[in-house]
Homo-oligomer: A and B are copies of this chain.
């Protein structure tokens, strides 16, 4: 349970891990999956449970650990010197936090838990060595990095050139698409722990305006929002508002592990 209950699910054996196919180190074609899982288990230090609103990583700090988000939601963000901040992306189960610690001592952003989360913890140096020794994994790192850049560039176009309505609709659709990819969600309804302030911080708006935008989306019958759940009532119309075609949502396959 992502939220509602105060704590997140605890990870079990890696070879049964429900998000294993999303994970960085889940290399296809490096021996049987079971062997990979065993190797990963060996690198894993353990896991950590955190409540919502905890800083997982603070910009500029060094750390000898690397994390994977097993359950719950988190986000990457930047704080400006005067206190304004920008959420760079939301992190969903299966996401790595963050890739670049494989190679660098510090990151250029901070990470905070949004709901209660559970993290799988790895030894940074060991994981780096493990990846370094396996070309297929190295290439997967590049894939992940390319995907990250592509996502950031998409966002740039959102913030620079799209209206608040478009941004909101796109956020909802992209989140659903990503959750579907992790097969955490099937229908048109999903657990939605974002407060309007988070949405505002991600879309470059104020929470007041986000409230109005969602009011409009509801009034037009596009979505329904309960406390921690969002339902897409009219996918067709929502995609039109978002300026998204179905193929755009599948387009993440552009950088999928099997491509190239």
Contacts and interface: CB of A to CB of B under 8 A. Distances in A.
Contacts of A81: 243
A1 interface: no
Contacts of A84: 161-162
Interface stretch (A43-51, A149-157, A213-221): A149-157
A102 B138 CA distance: 13
Contact of A243 (B78, B80, B139, B204): B80
Nearest to A77: B157
B153 A108 contact: yes
Contacts of A80: 157, 161-162, 243
Contact residues on A (Cβ < 8 Å of other chain), bracket: 35 or more
A86 B161 contact: yes
A2 interface: no
Given A88-B153, A139-B103, A160 B161 contact: no
Interface of A: 76, 78, 80-82, 84-86, 88, 100, 102-106, 108-109, 132, 135, 138-139, 141-143, 145-146, 148-150, 152-157, 159-162, 201-204, 243, 254-255, 259-260
In the A-B complex, list the 7 residue pairs whose CB atoms are closest, starting with the nearest. A160-B204, A152-B152, A159-B159, A86-B157, A145-B145, A86-B160, A108-B150
